[in-house]
Amino acid sequence: MPPVLYLASQSPRRLQLLAQLGLSPQTLLPGPQEDAEALEAERPGEPPEVYVRRVTLAKLEAACARRQCRGLPEAPVLCADTTVALGDRILGKPADAADALRTLRLLSGQTHEVFTAVALQAGGQARLALSRSSVDFAAVPEEVLHAYVASGEPFGKAGAYAIQSSLAGWIPTIRGSYSGIMGLPLYETTQLLRDAGVLP
């Protein structure tokens, strides 16, 4: 039996969010020869919204090629990308502790945007939806930022933080989608999966 859905993501959050919809997809992870970092490379002057769409479609294309290459049975393929932006500036995953601290200091006391694009390949057609949220950060004390970086939580997260972590204690308001900020906007994802007949 082919799987109902492939999830092309290494993010445990995305798997957890899909489980909320009652789905347990088969993951379609990149092989050692695939360069995920190159795929997520920024282009100078590219607005965050354009960047997140481009990267998500590139992830989708790579995942579909991977499925074919591995001779896996056909089924819809889902993937996503989350990008944090302060104005036009993209704040990616931190390279190290100093980078995480720098990023968090930029976000402290400011409002930033979180874009998550989700893409689905099904029945020979690629569909993409974009979720946009804004997140207000209160001014976070230096000692809190240091402890947060030392906890390891910022690593592997766009913008060096997670809404589903202790730093939520410094976020008075979000406008948009909590699941989108976390990595997979469940409203948009449901719409795409309904269009493809994966969800009723």
| Residues 93-122, mask of contacts with ligand TTP (x by CB under 6 A) | ---------------------x--------
Active-site residues: which are they? Answer: 81
**One residue of 84, 85, 91, 100 binding ligand TTP per CB under 6 A:** 84
Task: Give the list of residues 6+ apart from residue 190 with CB closer than 8 angstroms, or none.
Answer: 21, 199
| Residues 130-169, mask of contacts with ligand TTP (x by CB under 6 A) | --------------------------xxxx-xxxx-----
Q: Which is nearer to ligand TTP, 1 or 89 (CB)?
A: 89
**One residue of 182, 192, 193, 198 binding ligand TTP per CB under 6 A:** 182
**One residue of 6, 48, 82, 122 binding ligand TTP per CB under 6 A:** 82
- Quick check: 179 and 13 in contact, CB under 8 A? no
- Quick check: 174 and 136 in contact, CB under 8 A? yes
Q: Which is nearer to ligand TTP, 122 or 181 (CB)?
A: 181
Question: DSSP secondary-structure letter at 199?
Answer: -
**One residue of 81, 113, 153, 188 binding ligand TTP per CB under 6 A:** 81
Number of chain positions touching ligand TTP (CB under 6 A): 22
Residue type, 148: Y
C-alpha distances in angstroms, 193 versus 81, 161, 186? 17, 28, 10
Dig out the tokens for 139 from the structure.
Answer: 């001014």
Place of tokens 């974009």: 130
Give the DSSP H or E segment for 101: helix 97-107
Task: Give the list of residues 6+ apart from residue 106 with CB closer than 8 angstroms, or none.
Answer: 86, 91
Q: Which is nearer to ligand TTP, 10 or 151 (CB)?
A: 10
Between helix 186-195 and helix 12-20 the angle, nearest 10°, is 70
| Residues 3-42, mask of contacts with ligand TTP (x by CB under 6 A) | ------xxx-xx-------------------------x--
Query: Which residues lie near ligand TTP (CB under 6 A)?
Result: 9-11, 13-14, 40, 80-82, 84, 114, 156-159, 161-164, 181-183
